[in-house]
């Protein structure tokens, strides 16, 4: 039962809204790298906290959004050292969040690796 694996913390609805905010921030709202870093760090923390939260993040598209932030052209094809310096912490937060998603079980790891 997935509910038994859920630690106290955010509800599934709150995690869904964070995943949507991360995806919207990349595509529609054009959040900056600091915004992406914050959302990635929060989702990573919740994913680390419990397998239930990790499954929610994956189910609501959070893992796909994290990978999209890592692959986004506006953060990978920058010539300015200042812009690169802002993007590195965001990329690190995305990678850490993906690692937190993978730590619980094979199902989570396979879902992330399939992206």
Q: What per-residue confidence (pLDDT) applies to 21?
A: 98
**Residue 43 is assigned to a structural domain of this protein:** yes
94 domain-assigned: yes
Q: What's the number of CA atoms in the CB half-sphere (13 Å) around residue 64?
A: 11
Q: Is residue 22 part of a domain?
A: yes
Is there a domain that residue 5 lies in? no
pLDDT of the residue at 60:
98
Q: What pTM value is reported for the model?
A: 0.90
Between CA 15 and CA 21 the distance in angstroms is 10
Those residues of the chain that have pLDDT short of 70 are 1-7
Boundaries of domain holding 23: 10-113
Q: Please state, in angstroms and rounded to a whole number, the distance separating the CA atoms of residues 2 and 17.
A: 20
Number of domains, the chain: 1
Question: How many residues are there in the chain?
Answer: 115
């Amino acid at each position: 039962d997935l509910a038994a694996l859920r630690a106290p913390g955010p509800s599934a609805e709150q995690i869904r809204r964070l995943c949507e905010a991360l995806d919207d921030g990349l595509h529609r709202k054009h959040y900056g790298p600091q915004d992406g870093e914050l959302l990635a760090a929060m989702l990573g923390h919740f994913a680390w906290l419990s397998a239930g939260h990790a499954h929610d993040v994956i189910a609501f598209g959070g893992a796909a959004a994290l990978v999209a932030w890592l692959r986004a052209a506006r953060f990978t094809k920058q010539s300015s050292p200042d812009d690169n310096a802002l993007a590195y912490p965001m990329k690190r937060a995305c990678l850490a969040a993906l690692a937190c998603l993978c730590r619980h079980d094979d199902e989570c790891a396979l879902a992330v690796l399939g992206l």
